[in-house]
Amino acid sequence: MNYTAIGQQIRKFRKLRNISQEQLAEKIDISTTHMSHIETGSTKLSLPVLVKISEELKISTDEILFGEKDNSIQNNLPDILKNCSLEELEIITEIIKSMKKTFNSFSIQKK
């Protein structure tokens, strides 16, 4: 695990929410020194602390561990669709509707 990269993610999201290290540390019940060590990657991050941080910053643990989600598929989709014929678009639409219905029946939720 790259604890430095994880710490950088935590720092980035903390700053985006205008929360100081001291405030975050207090809210998740750790020392400011420990919070600083987490953000610099000089200490390992426990699972309970990771969960508390993600809840407090209102982000998923995946975003902390692996970075922001890649939206390239969403960004590329309009380009793909604009080159489709009307018939192809109708077929793609029906496939997507069917897939979405299947996902919903298995309670797969958008993350």
pLDDT band for position 70 (cuts 50, 70, 90): low
Tokens of 20: 């100081």
The DSSP symbol for 29 reads T
23-32, 57-66, 88-97, 102-111: least confident range? 102-111
Cα–Cα distance, 75 to 63 (Å, whole number): 19
Look at residue 54 and give its three-state secondary structure. helix
User: At residue 93, what are phi and psi to the nearest 5 degrees?
Assistant: -60, -45
pLDDT at 80 over 50: yes
8 Å CB contact between 41 and 4:
yes
Euclidean distance between the first and final Cα of the chain, in Å? 23
